[in-house]
Structure 1
Amino acid sequence: MIRTPLRPLARILEARAKGENPDAIERENLRLRHEQMRDQSRSRAEGRLLILGVLFFCAYAAVGARMGVLAASEPHEPRAAASGAAITAQRADITDRNGRILATNLATHSLYAQPPMMIDKERAAKALVAIFPDLKEEKLLEQFTGKRKFLWIKKKISPEQMQLVHDIGDPGLLFGPREMRLYPNGRLAAHVLGGFGFGREGVHSAEVIGTAGVEKAFDDYLRDPANGGQALRLSLDLSVQAATRRVLYGGMKLMNAKGATAVMMDAHTGEIITLVSLPDFDPNDRPRPLLEGDQSDSPLFNRAVQGVYELGSTFKIFTAAQAIELGLANANTLVDADAPMKWGKHKIREFQNKNYGPLLSVTDVIVKSSNVGTAKMALQIGAQRQQDFLRELGFFEATPVELVEAPGAKPLLPQRWADITTITASYGHGLSASPLHLATAYASLLNGGTKVKPTLLAGGRPATGERVVSEQTSAASRDMLRAVVSRGTASFGDVPGYSVGGKTGTADKPKPRGGYYKDKVIATFASVFPTDDPKYVLVVTLDEPEETSGAKPRRTAGWTAVPVAAEIIRRTAPLLGLRPEIEPQPGFGVTLTGN
């Protein structure tokens, strides 16, 4: 800014020339300067007041807008800000095929401590041990008096326990909200569901992740918010599962078995209606894996899927069906069954050294469960064709069922498929597979001959895949299995009204270091019902059963597994909506007579 001099020389000289007082000029210029400074200060103050007013207006407008948003929104508890990605705790439910809950979520709390905030650490440690007996007072006190500023005490507690801890009154004992998994049916379907654990954990939430079974197999789906919380619907039927487990548990105890398993499958879709493995566990309190010994002794072991056994004579129907399919025989063809059969240095004998020969029909080979007759048919079929057929039925790969344990349960196959292997494999020895393998193969063979894929997801459609045998061979196989129940080794499996067909299998258990036990067996009964219109396949396997009602212990499947399977069918068939049909006896009829 250019300032005007107070005593400009030109005006001073002019004023003196006119006789005027030069000091008046200075006073006038000083007055004008002060007025200019006053106007500038007022303008500056007015601008500042305007800016301040605008700022106050914007601030009050923002506060008012935020209050309006809060008033229009749903109330919720505030949460402390935390760095890192948010933890997604919500997890979808799991239901059975009818929508009944198998796994759901439960709101609970965790308990943690901040030792610097604690008042009476010794008293708090003693009170916590009284509430949670599994805690150690000395260890708690050591942690409370150490350098730690934070420690977890319990990852999940009940409302009652929360109230008891609250009553301690120590400000250093704090609670965090938690979502945990609840299995309202306890042990029911434990091996299918698996269990849960916690992943990333924070004070305010924790990841709920699957640790086994479908919980782990479908972990991404169950945790995906994009699914909108839609439940995972399994193929299991909760009522059938409960009835099967009850009967199987009673049968296991009655037959003095160390373990048992049952698999029921829809013969046309491959949907697993029930899968039970005993002993089992409560997934709400999943036990720890065994650190030593035989893992199959653990309740976590899924015998239906992970249990790979020699399934004995249940395989004989595959040999008979393949012989019929290849045109080498029919159900009435006579087969050389003269025992014992010599093959090189080996002797093939019948059960208890019996001799069913010299000739048996193919049907009677299955009915009497002749090893020799089956071996003769297998040699006609040949090693390569036998392998191809068993491969088609799924015995060369792990089952594709939706369980994380399934890929590791591959069948045990002989390294070299010699002629003697062809013979022994024909009656289920030298080749080991799981009960689920067997159920899948029986369904594929007996449903009309179409291969099925086992699944634990509901909504399956009838199999339209590759054909393993013709409809005629499938029907002949069902007739032979029906004869096994009506007049063969599975006579205890007859359930009036449901036309059960099936095949027994009793295999000596192998020793860990080679050879076989003489007094320990795996007893299996693989069945289909009704045989005239197959709907379901049921496989029951007992580990080391021993029926002791007679003078000597009886271990064969006909005395152990068959009665258990028959009771399961008797209990579950009505639950499955199957109406009993009375089969006409021979000679049954109506004679019309006149008056």
Structure 2
Amino acid sequence: MIRTPLRPLARVLEARDNGDDPALIEAENKRLRHEAMRDKARLRAEGRLLVLGAMFFCAFMTIGIRMGALASSEPEEPRAAVAGNPIIGQRSDIVDRNGRILATNLETHSLYAHPQDMVDPEFAAAELAHIFPELDEEKLLANFTGDRKFLWIRKQISPEQLQAVHDIGSPGLLFGPREMRLYPNGPIAAHILGGASYGREGVASAEVIGVAGVERFFDAYLRDPANEGAPLELSIDLTVQAASEQVLAGGMSIMNAKGATSVLMNIDTGEIISMVSLPDFDPNNRPPVLTTGDQSDSPLFNRAVQGVYELGSVFKIFTIAQAMDLNLVNPETLIDTTGPLTWGRFKIRDFRNYGPELTTTDIIVKSSNVGTARIANMIGADRQREFLNSLGFLEPTTVEMVEAPTGKPLLPRNWSEISTMTISYGHGLSSSPLHLAAGYASLLNGGTRVQPTLLRQDTVQTGDRVVREAVSTRSRDMLRQVVERGTASFGEVAGYKVGGKTGTADKPRERGGGYYDDKVIATFASVFPADDPQYVLIVTLDEPVESSGDEPRRTAGWTAVPVAAEMIRRVAPLLGMRPEVETLEPIGVTLTSN
């Protein structure tokens, strides 16, 4: 910037020539410069005031327009904007493999009392006893007129009951919010779900916790807010589960059994499609645990997981399959079946006299104890134990239930030669029906280990190999022949090639040792379709008696097999399996040559 000097030389010289005072030139120039600066500052201030005035005008116009819009609009409740997802506090739902609700939550209320606030305790006690018949009027009145300051009356009440209590009009009767666990299907899948109850409780809220089944096993997951309410998806199919329970209940009644269980499992994924234990219960009103007597008589007892039984001849296929895998026998190998087979003071007999020898296949078809025991002797105790361990028969199952560890197999203290022989045909080792289902699936799916699971799976399990694939194929063929011409002839289902093995085991006495003569565990372990297996079905009846004939019949072929056949007939279409229709030869005149 070029600045003008206050005392320019030319003007100073000119002033001196004219006799003027040069200092006046500097004073004049200062005055002019200050006036110019003042004018410039005034213009700048006027511009700023104009901009600020425009901004205030716009702000007031905006506020005025917004106030006019609010005044002319319908009134609404204010809503708070929240960043991110809300925290889900309630327990997650449980659904089946198709997303159908098995367990959910219902908002309800609790009822409690402050006796000191009651105006007419006698009237309140009488009315409450009328609304809730299970309450004792005299006991209520004693509590209302005593020294108690707080009293729970009901932990859960229905909306109708809430209104009825409200109509009493007593200021000492109060309501608290509650979230209850609801099982809309009642007793269907009761043992799988288990049930829920209240943990920590207060008048304003209560903690819902699982007490059994998957509700207890997945309790942390179901209560975790980080899941944002995502449901727990199980492997079971609600429709198949309901049909299985209906058929099994009918079979249990017809066969006069004291209990029954069934397990339907996918042979490749290990998914449990249905699992039934009878008698059952309603998890909405879970019964108390038995304090006396046999716990296995309680409806809470899960026979499929907790019940360990000697399952009988269904084990024979494991012995034959291991012998074939070790190249000790093939399906046509002749085995000595002369009986009885004596070992010390023990004698092993067959149900009938099958002659001096049978092929390996016919030992399965006719269910020869003697033949199976002799093959087990070829295998030996160590190899038998190792093979059964590879199938999971020596440890509890890993299914996702808190009851699973209690279903520990009962093994012989000394795995001797006689133990080897009796275990080969299902005596001397007790396991659960779920163990048996997993064992059959592992043997018949191509020979790879399968772990049972209650969670939906999208992929096939790839477990350790237990037998060669060729042995698995031969085993399936043998089981198919058991249905076609053996002890499970009642297991044939039109359109579905069923294979399976029967097992009838005498029940051991609770005291004194030995076995009952008239009490058995009847089991049918089946696979369908036998030529391309997809599912394994285990049906077990406790103390069945088929009494339509002149003499009572207790064997599995007469009791468990017909029930399993009816179950397959009912559930196979629900599983999307089309029956195979056999094509007939053409009938009538046909042209054979010109």
TM superposition score normalised by structure 2: 0.84
**Would you say the 8 A contact 1:375–1:424 is kept in 2?**
yes
Distance 1:515 1:584, change over 3 A: farther
**Would you say the 8 A contact 2:113–2:172 is kept in 1?**
yes
- Displacement of 1:583 in angstroms is 5.0
- Displacement of 1:190 in angstroms is 0.2
Name the structure 1 match of 2:531: 532
Give distance in 2, aligned partners of 1:491 and 1:388.
33
Give distance in 2, aligned partners of 1:360 and 1:460.
43
**Would you say the 8 A contact 1:271–1:460 is kept in 2?**
no
Give distance in 1, aligned partners of 2:373 and 2:509.
25
Name the structure 1 match of 2:438: 440
Name the structure 1 match of 2:311: 311
Aligned-partner SS, 1:573: helix
The AA in structure 2 aligned to 1:323 is A
Name the structure 2 match of 1:212: 212
Name the structure 2 match of 1:511: 509
* Paired residues for 1:322-471 under 5 Å: 322-351=322-351, 354-471=352-469
Give distance in 2, aligned partners of 1:149 and 1:461.
59
- Displacement of 1:71 in angstroms is 2.8
* Paired residues for 1:580-595 under 5 Å: 580-582=579-581, 593-594=592-593
1:331-351 CA-to-partner distances (Å, cap 9, x unmatched) read 111111111112222211011
1:91-125 CA-to-partner distances (Å, cap 9, x unmatched) read 00000000000000001110000111111011101
1:167-220 CA-to-partner distances (Å, cap 9, x unmatched) read 110011011111101100001000000011001111111001101000000000
Name the structure 1 match of 2:548: 549
Give distance in 2, aligned partners of 1:214 and 1:575.
24
Give distance in 1, aligned partners of 2:524 and 2:417.
27
Name the structure 1 match of 2:563: 564
**Would you say the 8 A contact 1:547–1:559 is kept in 2?**
yes
Q: Which runs of 5+ in 1 are unaligned?
A: 1-68, 76-86
Give distance in 1, aligned partners of 2:225 and 2:345.
65
* Paired residues for 1:165-314 under 5 Å: 165-314=165-314
**Would you say the 8 A contact 2:88–2:229 is kept in 1?**
no
**Would you say the 8 A contact 2:94–2:234 is kept in 1?**
yes
- Displacement of 1:592 in angstroms is 6.8
The AA in structure 2 aligned to 1:550 is G
**Would you say the 8 A contact 1:265–1:537 is kept in 2?**
yes
1:42-63 CA-to-partner distances (Å, cap 9, x unmatched) read xxxxxxxxxxxxxxxxxxxxxx
Give distance in 2, aligned partners of 1:277 and 1:547.
20
Distance 1:591 1:424, change over 3 A: farther
**Would you say the 8 A contact 2:109–2:156 is kept in 1?**
yes
Name the structure 2 match of 1:61: none
* Paired residues for 1:87-166 under 5 Å: 90-166=90-166
Aligned-partner SS, 1:508: strand
Aligned-partner SS, 2:573: coil
* Paired residues for 1:26-41 under 5 Å: none
- Displacement of 1:460 in angstroms is 4.5
**Greater shift in the superposed pair: 546-555 or 114-123:** 114-123
Aligned residues: 514
Distance 1:591 1:190, change over 3 A: farther
Give distance in 1, aligned partners of 2:156 and 2:375.
62
The AA in structure 1 aligned to 2:425 is Y
**Would you say the 8 A contact 1:528–1:538 is kept in 2?**
yes
Give distance in 1, aligned partners of 2:118 and 2:110.
18
**Would you say the 8 A contact 2:89–2:225 is kept in 1?**
no
The AA in structure 2 aligned to 1:560 is T
Give distance in 1, aligned partners of 2:459 and 2:437.
18
Give distance in 1, aligned partners of 2:585 and 2:442.
31
Give distance in 2, aligned partners of 1:102 and 1:261.
20
Give distance in 1, aligned partners of 2:561 and 2:81.
61
Give distance in 2, aligned partners of 1:228 and 1:103.
17
Give distance in 2, aligned partners of 1:475 and 1:587.
33
Give distance in 2, aligned partners of 1:510 and 1:305.
19
The AA in structure 2 aligned to 1:199 is G
The AA in structure 1 aligned to 2:542 is D
The AA in structure 2 aligned to 1:594 is S
- Displacement of 1:582 in angstroms is 3.1
Distance 1:591 1:483, change over 3 A: farther
TM superposition score normalised by structure 1: 0.84
Distance 1:226 1:520, change over 3 A: same
**Would you say the 8 A contact 1:369–1:489 is kept in 2?**
yes
Name the structure 1 match of 2:78: 71
Percent of pairs with identical residues: 70
1:317-369 CA-to-partner distances (Å, cap 9, x unmatched) read 00000010000011111111111112222211011xx2212110000000000
Give distance in 1, aligned partners of 2:125 and 2:184.
33
Give distance in 1, aligned partners of 2:505 and 2:172.
62
**Would you say the 8 A contact 2:265–2:536 is kept in 1?**
yes
Q: Which runs of 5+ in 2 are unaligned?
A: 1-75
- Displacement of 1:70 in angstroms is 8.3
Aligned-partner SS, 1:156: strand
Give distance in 2, aligned partners of 1:389 and 1:111.
59
Give distance in 2, aligned partners of 1:586 and 1:537.
33
Name the structure 2 match of 1:52: none
Give distance in 2, aligned partners of 1:582 and 1:528.
19
Give distance in 1, aligned partners of 2:581 and 2:303.
35
